[in-house]
Amino acid sequence: MSVEIHFDGVSKYFGDFCAVENLTLDITRGEMVAILGKTGCGKSTMFNMVSGLQEPSSGSVRVQGRDPFREFDWFRGKIAIVFQNDRLLPWRTAVQNVELGLEMLDAPPAIRREKAMGWLAQLGLKGHENDYPHALSGGMRQRVSIARAFATDAPILLCDEPFSALDEITANRLRDEFAALVAENGKTAVFITHSIGEALKIGRRIVVLRRPARIALDEMPPANMSRDEADAIRDRIQAVLSE
Ligand SMILES: Nc1ncnc2c1ncn2[C@@H]1O[C@H](COP(=O)(O)OP(=O)(O)O)[C@@H](O)[C@H]1O
Ligand SMILES: [Mg+2]
């Protein structure tokens, strides 16, 4: 089992304020981990350290054995990110937005277009390739940003509450499709959420954080779990989060 993402005694301070405290966590290649915690508990700060946007105050973060902050350029094409806000460029069509990540990897134009069209189709957006973001619903825009993330072929996917701005029905559908695509494509995925239901749906493993970010619970729900098993895990998580 090879470790893809490694936190070793990581703390992160903003001035005197501790957002992440002595966090140690290994995420194995191909794992789909939900990181669950209340708002303000340090989830996005963890995310920013994995994606190389922030440096730990102490301890170390390694992704594929490298330092994402100091070796930022090496990670081009290795990590794809989906945010809560779709972050599409309004002056580009859906397909042009999906192509963006591939442009940054210098993929030839014909290949870019073919991959982008393919991923839009996989995400149910056939016929909307040439629509601009303003013409798409929130759910469709988030589909475009998921297509953009998959199109780059990055082995690691980081998602920071990607469905939390969507209505529950739309979010539910997209969640299932997303989980299936992650599994089919063998990605290592870190999925941040503040929703217990979402964590249970997405996570093959659920890491629950207590503020400041440190691990309060680390669960591996069995595949095809029964309702009773799901309820028991939900109760354990709820107990931790309400402390
Ligand atoms: N750049 C920053 N400067 C100061 N405080 C910050 C900064 N980023 C985050 N924080 C604080 O750290 C805590 C954790 O934030 P964050 O990681 O965004 O939490 P979450 O994503 O779990 O909601 C919050 O209390 C937040 O106000
Ligand atoms: Mg956050």
What confidence score (pLDDT) does residue 18 get? 96
Q: Is the dihedral of CA 34, 40, 46, 51 positive or negative?
A: positive
Convert the pLDDT of each residue in 106-161 to its tens digit.
Answer: 889 999 999 999 999 999 999 999 999 999 999 999 999 999 999 999 999 999 99
Q: Which ligand is nearest to the CA of 162?
A: 2
What confidence score (pLDDT) does residue 224 get? 84
How much distance in Å is there from the Cα of 56 to the middle of ligand 2?
Answer: 17
Nearest atom, ligand 1, residue 47 CA:
17
| Ligand 1, CB within 6 Å, residue ranges | 14, 17, 19, 37, 39-45
Nearest-CA residue for ligand 1 atom 18 is 44
Residue 36 has a CB neighbour count (10 Å cut-off) of: 28
How much distance in Å is there from the Cα of 45 to the middle of ligand 1?
Answer: 6
How much distance in Å is there from the Cα of 125 to the middle of ligand 2?
Answer: 28
Convert the pLDDT of each residue in 179-199 to its tens digit.
Answer: 999 999 999 999 999 999 999
What confidence score (pLDDT) does residue 26 get? 97
Q: Which ligand is nearest to the CA of 37?
A: 1
What confidence score (pLDDT) does residue 50 get? 96
With a cut of 80, say whether residue 1 has pLDDT above it: no
Convert the pLDDT of each residue in 13-32 to its tens digit.
Answer: 999 999 999 999 999 999 99
What confidence score (pLDDT) does residue 225 get? 87
How much distance in Å is there from the Cα of 239 to the middle of ligand 1?
Answer: 23
In this structure, are residues 172 and 178 in contact, taking their beta carbons and an 8 Å threshold? Answer: no
With a cut of 80, say whether residue 6 has pLDDT above it: yes
Residue 3 in tokens: 């470790």
What confidence score (pLDDT) does residue 20 get? 96
Report the chain's mean pLDDT, rounded to a whole number. 94
Q: Which residues pair with 210 in a beta bridge?
A: 214
User: What kind and span of H or E run contains 177?
Assistant: helix 168-184
How much distance in Å is there from the Cα of 213 to the middle of ligand 1?
Answer: 10
Nearest-CA residue for ligand 1 atom 20 is 40
Q: Among the CATH numbers 3.40.50.300, 3.40.50.620, 2.40.50.180, 2.40.170.20, which is that of 3-78+154-241?
A: 3.40.50.300
What confidence score (pLDDT) does residue 2 get? 92
Convert the pLDDT of each residue in 55-110 to its tens digit.
Answer: 999 999 999 999 999 999 999 999 999 998 889 999 999 999 999 989 988 889 99
Residue, of 213 and 10, whose pLDDT is higher? 10
How much distance in Å is there from the Cα of 42 to the middle of ligand 1?
Answer: 6
How much distance in Å is there from the Cα of 37 to the middle of ligand 1?
Answer: 13
Nearest atom, ligand 1, residue 14 CA:
4
Q: What is the rounded CA–CA span in Å between residue 199 and residue 62?
A: 24
Nearest-CA residue for ligand 1 atom 8 is 45
What confidence score (pLDDT) does residue 160 get? 93
Where do the domains of the chain lie?
Answer: 3-78+154-241, 89-153
- pLDDT tier for residue 223 given thresholds of 50, 70 and 90: confident
With a cut of 80, say whether residue 170 has pLDDT above it: yes
Q: Which ligand is nearest to the CA of 48?
A: 1
Q: What is the rounded CA–CA span in Å between residue 159 and residue 162?
A: 6
What confidence score (pLDDT) does residue 150 get? 95
What confidence score (pLDDT) does residue 86 get? 85
Nearest-CA residue for ligand 1 atom 2 is 14
- pLDDT tier for residue 41 given thresholds of 50, 70 and 90: very high
Residue 38 has a CB neighbour count (10 Å cut-off) of: 14
What confidence score (pLDDT) does residue 91 get? 97
Out of 13, 14, 210, give the residue to mutate to test ligand 1, the one with the largest number of ligand atoms within 8 Å of its CB: 14
